[in-house]
Amino acid sequence: MRADLSRRAFGALVTAAGVAYARASAGRARTLPGGKISLRVPWPTSALDPHRLDDGLAAIFGDALFDTLYAHDGAGGFVPSLAEAEPEIEGTTLRVALRAGLRTGRGRPLDARAAAASIARARGAGARAWLADVPAPRIEGRWLIFAMKDAGRLMRALASPLVAIVRADFSPESPDGTGPFRLGSRGGSLVLARNPFAARGPAFLEEITLGSARNLDASLVAFERAQDDIGWLGSGLYSTRPGSRAFDVGPVAHAVLATGQDVTPWNAPGAAQAACDSVPTQKLSSLAVGPAWRSTADDGWGGPPATLLVRDDSPWLMELARTLAAVLSRPAHEIVAKPVGPAEIAQRRASRSYPLLLDVVRPLLHGALGAAVALATADDPTRAADLVRHPPKNDLSPRAVARSLRLGIVGEVRVQGGQMPDLTLVPSTSTHGVDWGACHTRSR
């Protein structure tokens, strides 16, 4: 039984406190839903946008707040989520009905118009290329009518976490969705509280308190001092917290180094990846950037002296930028990391008016194609749309794809660190990282 179905069953049973629910898929004993946990992450927490390709917080917690019309089933197929059923064929069109009575975490209705607006918003953001072959739907009551005939391709497209369904008045500064949690705030921290209107059933946990770590040490210190239940990237700064255990739920995004117009002719496909390939894995190991890769000749950066722009509100990215700049710099080819505001990053990225830029790219779906299209979209949406229409049969690994782009894979953004043993983190089957709604702990 999948975690989303487990929560749906729980939602039908949660009419009395202390209801127990069995997670048959894992063969565990019956678990009492409840409990609260806290953690802090070295990522900006002032906004969360599921449709942005570069939103690190959405990569980690998007699944906690939002749902899609269809969901990846973990075995290569797709199942209805907010949609009532698989698409119905009618002549030359496909009809998708939304489930009746959908409400967001704030109790506001969600209908077909909101779904159509979400698809349009996603198309104007990170899913532009991913939705290249999906026409804008027309609306008939609670039905979305798509002028296409390939139901499998439509479900795949609409299962992307970057095509999450939100209301037309959605605000990243106050995100509201149909996921297992609804978002609030308390004492300067975000609070993910159990959503009683959750489309697939409420979360097992009562709430998650989420703070923003001002640097990479803050989460480790808080975990070591028993202030948090999860330590980001480790189990303590000075010593391992007694009784804790390590966890690694895998990657949720890629950290990429992009070249811009200010370093022409080094702003050429493959140049950034060549530089990234020369970085020994152990130089970045403290940042948990994923499995070791085979580093090439230690050439470093061969272009002119350059500034590496990075968001000034993302401690993890800033530390990665400083480390990367030091590793890649050579005499007469120095790189200096420069933190700037998110608005400037967005403006520079749109015009490509920068020397070097460190960014985050979220995969559009499980598997090689979802990662490849995301990376291509970050460089050239037109090229990415071609990948969607005509997926190549050759190597689609991220580093191989990046060698034909003006960006390079520095490493992965991973969900790993230390946790208390009474907490069970459940890997997501429909997106990446953690299925926060299915996580549970002994009530406390």
Comparing 1-10, 26-35, 90-99, 253-262, the range with the smallest average pLDDT is 1-10
Does the structure show a pLDDT above 60 at 283?
yes
Residues in the chain: 444
Q: What percent of the chain has pLDDT over 70?
A: 92
How do strand 143-146 and strand 93-97 relate by DSSP bridges?
antiparallel
pLDDT value for 443: 59
Comparing 17-26, 372-381, 435-444, the range with the smallest average pLDDT is 17-26
Residue pLDDT, tens place only, 72-131: 988 889 999 999 999 999 999 999 999 999 999 999 999 999 999 999 999 999 999 999
Two structure tokens written together for 203:
């979360």
Burial 362-391 (b: 16+ CB within 10 A, else e): bbbbbebbbbbbbbbbbbebeebbbbbeee
Confidence of residue 395 (pLDDT cuts 50, 70, 90): confident
Cα distance between residue 367 and residue 87, in whole Å: 23
Confidence of residue 7 (pLDDT cuts 50, 70, 90): low
Q: What is the 3-state secondary structure (H, E, C) of 155-206?
A: HHHHCCHHHCCCCCCCCCCCCCCCCCEEEEEECCEEEEEECCCCCCCCCCCC
Does the structure show a pLDDT above 70 at 51?
yes
Q: What percent of the chain has pLDDT over 90?
A: 85
Burial 25-40 (b: 16+ CB within 10 A, else e): eeeeeebebbbbbbbb
Confidence of residue 27 (pLDDT cuts 50, 70, 90): very low
Confidence of residue 444 (pLDDT cuts 50, 70, 90): low
Residues 358-385: what's their mean pLDDT? 95
The continuous run of DSSP H or E covering 88 comes out as strand 88-90
Burial 325-341 (b: 16+ CB within 10 A, else e): bebbbeeebbbebbbbe
Two structure tokens written together for 335:
């790189």
Confidence of residue 396 (pLDDT cuts 50, 70, 90): confident
Residues 424-429: what's their mean pLDDT? 92
pLDDT value for 408: 97
pLDDT value for 170: 97
Confidence of residue 394 (pLDDT cuts 50, 70, 90): confident
pLDDT value for 2: 41
pLDDT value for 31: 45
Does the structure show a pLDDT above 80 at 436?
yes
Does the structure show a pLDDT above 60 at 17?
no
Residue pLDDT, tens place only, 212-266: 999 999 999 999 999 999 999 999 989 999 999 999 999 999 999 999 999 999 9
How do strand 143-146 and strand 245-259 relate by DSSP bridges?
unpaired
Nearest to 329 by CA among 311, 302, 289: 302
> End-to-end distance of the chain based on CA atoms, in angstroms?
27
Cα distance between residue 300 and residue 302, in whole Å: 6
Confidence of residue 290 (pLDDT cuts 50, 70, 90): very high
Residue 315 backbone dihedrals phi, psi, to 5 degrees? -55, -40
Q: Please, what are the domains in the chain?
A: 1-66+179-244+420-444 (3.40.190), 67-169 (3.40.190.10), 251-415 (3.10.105.10)
Burial of 137 (0-12, 13-18, 19+ CB in 10 A): buried
- Residue with the two structure tokens 């990367």: 324
Mean of the per-residue pLDDT values for the chain?
91
Residues 171-191: what's their mean pLDDT? 96
Question: What does the angle CA 216 – CA 221 – CA 227 come to, to the nearest 5 degrees?
Answer: 125
Nearest to 8 by CA among 17, 18, 27, 21: 21
Residues 198-210: what's their mean pLDDT? 95
Cα distance between residue 326 and residue 18, in whole Å: 54
Bridge partners (DSSP) listed for residue 337:
308
pLDDT value for 118: 98
pLDDT value for 11: 45
Does the structure show a pLDDT above 50 at 371?
yes
pTM: 0.91
